[in-house]
Structure 1
Amino acid sequence: MSMFTIFGVSGSAISAQAQRLNTVASNLANADAVAGPDGQAYKARQVLFQTVPMGPNAASAGVKVQNIVESDVPNRRVFNPQHPSADGDGYVTHSNVNPVEEMVNMISASRSYQNNVEVMNTAKSLLLKTLQMGQ
């Protein structure tokens, strides 16, 4: 594997994890949201990754975001007939975001992002040392 391929692989992972972090941030921002004027509450979103061959002979693989899908977990309904967004039965529909799961996703994405930055820094350091050897 070429040293330059390492930058492509890690760069693709950094880009994918950045999108995952943005999705988690959106989910957390809407964790307490109730159904809007259209009657639909926010649905948590999850990022799906796809392996992408990299390099001239495809000996290595990177990652890209294949799709962002909405969770199929049912929305939480709370009985509160005094709430302005309550339906005819007195229930308020909240988002299906689980803040604990989202925090775990955020930590996982953040660590993966940091690890790939370290891989790129190590590869850069090795390339610089190789160049210095030729002087």
Structure 2
Amino acid sequence: MEYERTFAISASAMTLERTRVEIAALNLANANTVAGPDGTVYQPRRVVATTAFSDAVTQGLAAPTMSLEVAQQAPRMVYEPGHPLANATGFVAYASVDTATEMVTLMSAMRSYEANVAAMNTSRNLALKALEIGGNQ
């Protein structure tokens, strides 16, 4: 049997989910950052996977093709007239990161990662059991 493909699929998915966790953590870390003096504010990022499932099977140990997408969203304006970076009307521009969405993304990626670890362990146990059965004859 070809267990390498099963391991490759799980490893590929774990790489993708690890990247999703890292980007969600980055977005959460920048949720309360304000616009700098030049007026630019942090834009949240998203991971976009472009490798289809059938491609992962045929590619073997190849990693998934991922890209980062930057969401061009208007900053979240909060009325804080005492803030040193407030504009003339008293509003401060914060990053437009939705913390609830990022937490859901984080939990979903963690659960998917755990599921792929379980699938890889099951495949490993099946391979070891097949070797054990074959070795007793």
Q: TM-score, normalization: structure 2?
A: 0.87
Q: RMSD of aligned C-alpha atoms?
A: 2.0
Instruction: Kindly indicate whether the alpha-carbon contact (under 8 Å) linking 2:33 and 2:42 is maintained by their aligned counterparts in 1.
Output: yes
Q: Distance in 2 between matches of 1:63 and 1:124?
A: 20
Whichever structure has more strand as a proportion of its residues is 1
Letter of the 2:36 counterpart? G
Query: How does 1:1-135 map onto structure 2 within 5 Å?
Result: 2-52=2-52, 53-55=55-57, 58=58, 64-135=64-135
Query: Number of residue pairs matched?
Result: 132
- Measured after TM superposition, the shift of residue 59 of structure 1 is 8.8
Instruction: Kindly indicate whether the alpha-carbon contact (under 8 Å) linking 2:76 and 2:94 is maintained by their aligned counterparts in 1.
Output: yes
Which piece of structure 1 moves more, 114-123 or 39-48? 39-48
Deviation >4 Å, runs of 4+: none
Q: Distance in 1 between matches of 2:92 and 2:125?
A: 56
Letter of the 1:103 counterpart? M
Which blocks of at least 5 consecutive residues in structure 1 are unaligned?
none
Which blocks of at least 5 consecutive residues in structure 2 are unaligned?
none
Whichever structure has more helix as a proportion of its residues is 2
SS state at 1:105 partner: helix
Partner deviation per Cα, 1:67-93 (whole Å, 9 max, x = no partner): 111123321011222211112332200
